[in-house]
Amino acid sequence: MKIKEVIQYLEQLAPLGLQESYDNAGLIVGDANNEITKVLVSLDCTEAIIEEAVDKGCNLIISHHPIIFQGLKKINGKNYVERTVIKAIEHKIALYAIHTNLDNITGGVNSKIADKLGLVNQAILEPKKNVLRKMVVFVPRSHVEDVRQALFDAGAGKIGKHYDQCSFNTAGYGTFRPLLGAEPTIGEIGLQERVEETRIEVIYARSVERKVLLALYEAHPYEEVAYDLFDLQNTAGEMGAGMIGNLTEPMDELEFLAYLKENLKLKVIRHTALLGKKVSRVAVCGGAGGFLLGAAKRSGADFFVTADYKYHEFFDAENEIVIADTGHFESEQFTQELLYDIITKKFPNFATLTTEIDTNPIKYYS
């Protein structure tokens, strides 16, 4: 099996178009056409991870965090990023990162945290906007089924988590006149044609637009395909940042902190003042989630579990919510387990390993 087959599957689940503007998810080093030997899954990609991959015979590393966030002007080994890239190239190991695009989907990083906490009635904390588009295309009656199915197969027509193959269809007729040089499927040069057509409307995520357009051109019989594309203001309920859910039973705040520490395997939790009330509703965001505090408050969360809070940012809780900072690595550590499960379930025919190295750069003294 080739590396690109795994990449295509991962990007079907977490399209690169869902990554944040600062991110660098995707294939960073290596040839996607190479055959896979073994896969090593990790949270970070470091020199030690490359050495582990070499020792275990892995030629593909799938990490959550990209080893390269910004462009490298020189690669001479002056820092750990450059040394890691050099070592990967020397040993012909491909490096793939699946970062904020995995954060921004249901079933991704934040769903995993919510599952670890046993949250029910889970929903995206802040659904993404401006990620949906609508296509309107005009198709002769003879090809309606073929075109519509091609659009569905390409990823169009999905609404929410539980519905696909959604479309709206209107009967009508179209007119056109082929001009000199045209090679019309229907009609003759210089004569106006009137054709019974169906107007098909489907929505799709921006991330699959190229695939949808290619499918349209392939299935549509006309030499020139008539279609319109529209931006939608609808939020995408299955795509976005953070997760919100409910505990199965309310807990006291200290009880919940103990529960949080145990279930996320934490050494320490930094938190704001406790408010003396029961904890029922919990918002989570792996990594630096401070930007979601407003959404957590609006969602009615009693606790906001995230990481990377700075001193002055804790004041923003304003006795409306308890902020619990678990640490960046700690909040995302189960991403390795998530990726392992995703890959082995789909591709059981080659070995997928989880790193045995603790890449957390932060240590604790107690």
Residue 314 one-letter amino acid: F
Across 30-115, the runs of DSSP E, i.e. the strands, are: 38-42, 60-63, 94-97
Same CATH topology for 109-127+241-331 and 132-234: the answer is: no
Residue % of the chain over a pLDDT of 90 = 91
Task: Place 199 in a pLDDT band, splitting at 50, 70 and 90.
Answer: very high
What pLDDT shows up at residue 276? Answer: 96
Q: How far apart are CA 186 and CA 223, in angstroms?
A: 9
pLDDT in tens, 17-58: 899 989 999 999 999 999 999 999 999 999 999 999 999 999
Q: Helix 80-90 vs helix 47-56: angle between axes, to the nearest 10 degrees?
A: 20
Architecture label for domain 109-127+241-331 = 3-Layer(aba) Sandwich (3.40)
Q: Which two tokens stand for residue 28?
A: 């960073």
Largest CA distance in the chain: 86
Residue entry with tokens 């190229």? 210
Residue 42 one-letter amino acid: S
pLDDT in tens, 270-286: 999 999 999 999 999 99
Task: Place 99 in a pLDDT band, splitting at 50, 70 and 90.
Answer: very high
Per the CB < 8 A criterion, the answer to whether 189 and 182 are in contact is yes
pLDDT at 341 over 90: yes
pLDDT at 161 over 80: no
Q: How far apart are CA 84 and CA 238, in angstroms?
A: 35
Q: Which two tokens stand for residue 322?
A: 């308890």
Architecture label for domain 132-234 = 2-Layer Sandwich (3.30)
Task: Place 235 in a pLDDT band, splitting at 50, 70 and 90.
Answer: confident
What pLDDT shows up at residue 236? Answer: 79
* pTM, full prediction: 0.86
Homologous superfamily assigned to 3-102+334-354: NIF3 (NGG1p interacting factor 3)-like (3.40.1390.30)
Task: Place 242 in a pLDDT band, splitting at 50, 70 and 90.
Answer: very high
Q: How far apart are CA 240 and CA 261, in angstroms?
A: 26
Task: Place 71 in a pLDDT band, splitting at 50, 70 and 90.
Answer: confident
Nearest to 155, CA basis, from 132, 137, 139, 171: 132
Mean pLDDT of the chain: 95
What pLDDT shows up at residue 232? Answer: 93
What pLDDT shows up at residue 11? Answer: 94
What pLDDT shows up at residue 307? Answer: 98
What pLDDT shows up at residue 366? Answer: 78
pLDDT in tens, 209-231: 999 999 999 999 999 999 999 99
Residue 26: left if φ>0, alpha if ψ -120 to 50, beta else—which one? left
Q: How many CA atoms lie within 13 A of 212 on its CB side?
A: 25
Mean pLDDT computed over 301-322: 98
Q: Kindly list the domain boundaries of the chain, sorted by start residue.
A: 3-102+334-354, 109-127+241-331, 132-234
Per the CB < 8 A criterion, the answer to whether 172 and 199 are in contact is yes
Residue % of the chain over a pLDDT of 70 = 100
Nearest to 263, CA basis, from 123, 118, 366: 118
Nearest to 98, CA basis, from 335, 306, 286: 335
Mean pLDDT computed over 69-80: 89
| Residue 277: burial class (beta carbons within 10 Å; 0-12, 13-18, 19+) | exposed
Residue 187: left if φ>0, alpha if ψ -120 to 50, beta else—which one? left
Q: Which two tokens stand for residue 77?
A: 């080994």
Task: Place 129 in a pLDDT band, splitting at 50, 70 and 90.
Answer: confident
Mean pLDDT computed over 133-160: 96
